[in-house]
Amino acid sequence: NVPEQQVLSWIDCFDVGSSTQAAQKPVFCIVLGDITETGNPDDYTAFNRFQDAIEAKGIPVYCVVGNHDILNSGWSSWKNNCNPGTSFYSFSTHTVSWYFTDNGDGTYGSKQFSALETAFKNDNRRKLVFSHIPLYGGIPGKPELIMCSYLSDTKERAKIINLFAKNNVKCIFNG
């Protein structure tokens, strides 16, 4: 619940400080889904303004689709307002590949799984994977932290974990 201007002012602090401080400026921003609660087009318009303001400061924004983003026919609004406008994509930096996946409906699906499998075979870099829905629904020993959304198909979860383990995936980030 941080006001947008507070975030934008924080980013500006990196431009007026020392070279050490400037070197710590974020290189890009990743949004892990649920940009809206109900797929409301007005929410996307507001997010688009905020996203544009961040990008105007030289920080590209990359988005992952969330389960709430596609409610009430929100899919077209998400594609039109959230960079890069597609739900499965990747890019590489010098030693790391960044994979953005679509599991906003609670599944990776066979088509996306196959695409990941193919992409991983041709990529020997360390990998980071970004998605919205976590693989598991809680934290051992902390029953109060059980999440209401997680990848519930245990067979698919096992396949995904196996694929990640065999292909140098170092970390998974979820919304």
pTM: 0.88
Closest CA to 31 of 113, 106, 87, 75: 87
The three-state secondary structure class of 11 is helix
Retrieve residue 72's tokens: 């009430």
Closest CA to 74 of 33, 34, 38: 38
Burial class of residue 173, CB neighbours in 10 A (0-12, 13-18, 19+): middle
What string of pLDDT tens digits covers the 175 residues of the chain?
668 999 999 999 888 777 877 788 899 999 999 999 998 889 999 999 999 999 999 999 999 999 999 888 888 899 999 999 999 999 999 999 999 999 988 899 999 999 999 999 999 999 999 999 988 776 666 655 555 667 778 899 999 999 999 999 999 999 8
Taking CA atoms, 112 is separated from 48, 52, 78, 166, in Å, by 26, 29, 19, 17
Return the residue matching tokens 């996307």: 44
What one-character DSSP code corresponds to residue 126? Answer: E
